[in-house]
Chains A and B, each alone.
Chain A
């Protein structure tokens, strides 16, 4: 397998009257052909902004990529002209946006939106595009695909809009799909159908998938690698097994503990991570998780832990990562 995407030390910031929001604060990771990388992390920690940065879709002003490089199939995306970037978007890298209504045009029919994209990127005629669109809508589990083409977004249910977005992303057979919460509005059976569909693309065509999701069950089933983010940084990364069975960062551990599980007895109360997420305009020189961390020591106030290897392919940014192992062993 070869590297399709390489992100190195990416920093994306928003310059607002209330200060500089350090939404993405130095993240690096690679994605290989055919690989599925999941990104998980607290709401507001920079997952969507990091994805939008790859596609150069950060609204400027107030936002800007201030540092770092993103290379896709060996090309540095920052050096492409706007025209070249437009070709990459949709054709080579497709994005499923978190909120479908932000990217579907409310005054155009579903059919027009899909067929236009198809015609533009694949150079096929209207009739052929219609046929493809119907086929795609069927694949993502929409009823009456033909009639849907004539409908407007507000005629569709939340999950149907989400599936239109997914159909659009798949339409041009991209090399990389970035899916931001692609299945939140879908019931579990359709969710399974769509994730299997995407997984098959990764197996058969070597398409790579970056999937941002809060659903730890989906991550467990589909991800080859999991990046856990907190306050603009990747704080742990490893295989799904590493992350679920051998977490080496206190935030990851807390995250795993807060999810209600169907295979376990119901709890009286769920266990959220106590405390507030940090203010991204006021990050200091210490670890940003320390105010909420049960393992924090003095050193955590003074310096930011680097990502260090704990085992092959498993990295964590915590000074006390070995303590965590002991604590986990003691509790099991």
Chain B
């Protein structure tokens, strides 16, 4: 992985997977309902948390799709469904012509190497009793990526320094590191087996802006060099803007807007997307102190009893009567710009 040899200066235009490019992953009509149970001994299901309620999207090979949205809207659950860590209630996930829901354990094995995930919570995803070096080299061993021991050790060192960590950290345990250092161990572990698709769930959120910039440059370089595909989940809208080709905005288990990155930021259509973009704090105290912040008002709705009609209508500044009745169709209002709102 000779990332340093890549030219640092690139043209403003990001290399884009071209239109005809193959679709790597296609998610259709995905639903994930978690049962809410009552009773201590004889439990019965009294309701369902509609964590994901019918979402569809695809990602082309080499593309980065950003996934943003309110805390608790179902982003992590989407990633977990792709990995089959949850059994979806409905819907289909096709990855490279394979129906992920129908694969046997045996058939999944090679995919566990091709698809990697950087978990949102680094602390609980690292085995506390293993040294960092072993945490990173174990998947290489399991998936036969690096045959012999010394090669694995060398690669661990390489991966650590690519992520801005001294190779000396290989001998530490997770609890002997800072939050951001642990997060980078998760990144190094995901990169270790040379995957083709990485689900990055808040993968850079615990990093300071400088190391974050380093890791984002690394992810970009890898994408350019090896044509990697990312599903990039983040709350940091400036990072999403920098890295992603397309962005999907989720609200309460549904995708409410999906468009090319520049189009979404320049011309957001859904009222929720607009509210999100207007709330991003700008790193300049003079600008910040003059800016009025529009906080989205109203009760956060419950995923058990989502509001009727458009799920955003109780908090929407532009809601009209019909918003509480019909569910707005997710429609293409402009080429490649999709939105679920009748009032745009």
Contact = CB atoms under 8 A, between A and B. Distances in A.
A214 B181 CA distance: 14
Interface in B7-65: 8-12, 34, 36
B121 A99 contact: yes
A270 to B, nearest CB: 4
A291 interface: no
Contacts, number: 215
Contact of A143 (B77, B208, B303): B303
A322 interface: no
B239 interface: yes
A228 to B, nearest CB: 11
A311 interface: no
A273 B212 CA distance: 10
Interface stretch (B94-102, B172-180, B322-330, B335-343): B172-180
Interface stretch (B109-117, B134-142, B187-195, B274-282): B274-282
B293 interface: yes
A244 B216 CA distance: 23
Interface in A189-226: 189-193, 196, 214-221
A79 interface: no
A279 B176 CA distance: 14
Contacts of B275: 189
Nearest to B164: A276
B241 A187 contact: no
B242 A158 contact: no
A188 B295 CA distance: 9
Given A99-B121, A99-B123, A276-B164, A271 B213 contact: yes
Given A158-B76, A267-B242, A188 B71 contact: no
Q: Which of A40, A190, A279 has the most CB of B within 10 A?
A: A190
A47, A62, A188: residue with the most chain B Cβ atoms closer than 10 Å: A188
A77 interface: no
Given A158-B121, A217-B280, A259 B209 contact: yes
Nearest to A99: B123
A48 B178 contact: yes
B87 interface: no
B120 interface: yes
A1 interface: no
A157 B283 contact: no
A256 interface: yes
Given A143-B72, A158-B71, A217-B288, A268 B11 contact: yes
B25 to A, nearest CB: 22
> In which size bucket is the chain B interface?
35 or more
Contacts of A255: 208-210
Contacts of B83: none
Contacts of A286: none
B144 interface: no
Nearest to B265: A262
A270 B302 CA distance: 39
A266 B242 contact: yes
Contact of A189 (B10, B276, B285): B276
A188 B276 contact: yes
A258 B209 CA distance: 6
Contact of B210 (A14, A144, A258): A258
A142 B70 CA distance: 11
Interface string A40-58: 1111100111000000000
A162 B206 CA distance: 13
B289 interface: yes
B214 interface: yes
A186 B122 CA distance: 16
B116 to A, nearest CB: 19
A2 interface: no
B171 interface: yes
Interface in B284-303: 284-289, 293, 295-296, 299-303
Contacts of B277: 262
A326 interface: no
Contacts of A48: 178-179
A141 B209 contact: no
Nearest to B296: A189
Nearest to A158: B120
B71 A185 contact: yes
Interface centre among B77, B235, B304 (most CB of A within 10 A): B235
B71 A44 contact: no
B202 A158 contact: yes
B283 A181 contact: no
B217 interface: yes
Contacts of A261: 238, 282-283
B214 A190 contact: no
B207 interface: yes
Contacts of B235: 159, 184-188, 191
A240 interface: yes
Given A157-B71, A259-B213, 5 more contacts: A16-B176, A181-B206, A184-B235, A260-B241, A269-B217
21 contacts: A16-B176, A40-B208, A62-B176, A99-B122, A144-B304, A160-B72, A180-B179, A184-B202, A187-B69, A187-B276, A188-B279, A214-B212, A244-B285, A244-B286, A259-B209, A262-B282, A268-B10, A269-B8, A270-B214, A277-B164, A279-B168
The 6 closest A-B pairs by CB, nearest first: A159-B71, A43-B180, A217-B281, A270-B213, A216-B283, A272-B214
